[in-house]
Amino acid sequence: MLLCVHAGMGALIGRLLPGRAAAVLLGVGAHAALDAIRHHDNGGDDPAAVDALACLADAGLTALGIAALGLLGGWGSRATLGAISGALPDLELALPWNRRPRGTRLLFPSHAIARLHSCLSPFPVPLRFQAALAAFVWVLALSTDAPARGER
């Protein structure tokens, strides 16, 4: 699943929860839940086949969204923490030893255990749909009057 989907959903979930700890825990939990939905990944199952430009755009848009949340709503806001914790598990995918086709050392359950990854739904969610979903959740996450209401 695209990184920007994980972060955007984490931001939305964080906004809905009563506390920062819950935002962090459910941001990480939502990452696992989203990974469980059958989906296409950039490069498929082969890390060597990743479209680097698309990966860079995904990471850049995610960083931009998180920065916008941090600047608008506060770096310790539930939405910002939810977005960061939603994106965090995918950092391990960028580690050099996890960029090769064999011998990876993945720790996050939905990455390390094959039956927890891309296992739900009868059809895979295409990358274009994931990008549209990301745009939708980020618009919702950023179009809030939360800072004005003192929501942190």
Host H or E run for residue 122: strand 120-125
Residues 6+ apart with CB under 8 A from 16: none
Secondary structure (3-state) at 125: strand
Using the contact rule CB under 5 A, the part of the chain among 14-22, 56-64, 69-77, 89-97 near Zn ion is: 89-97
In whole angstroms, the minimum distance from the beta carbon of 41 to Zn ion comes to 9
Residue among 58 and 90 whose Cβ is closer to Zn ion: 90
How big is the site for Zn ion, counted in residues (CB under 5 A)?
2
**Least Å distance between CB 90 and Zn ion?**
5
Q: Residue 15 or 39: which CB sits closer to Zn ion? A: 39
Q: Which two tokens stand for residue 102?
A: 């064999």
State how far the Cα of 24 lies from the Cα of 14, in Å rounded to an integer.
7
- Is residue 90 part of the contact set for Zn ion (CB under 5 A)? yes
Least distance (Å) between residue 112 CB and Zn ion: 10
For the bound state, the minimum distance from the C-beta of residue 32 to Zn ion, rounded and expressed in Å, comes to 8
Between 19 and 58, how does the x/- string for binding to Zn ion read (CB under 5 A)?
----------------x-----------------------
Q: Which of 124, 71, 66 is nearest to 90 (CA)?
A: 66
Burial label, 123 (beta-carbon count in 10 A; 0-12, 13-18, 19+): exposed
Tell me which residues touch Zn ion (CB under 5 A): 35, 90
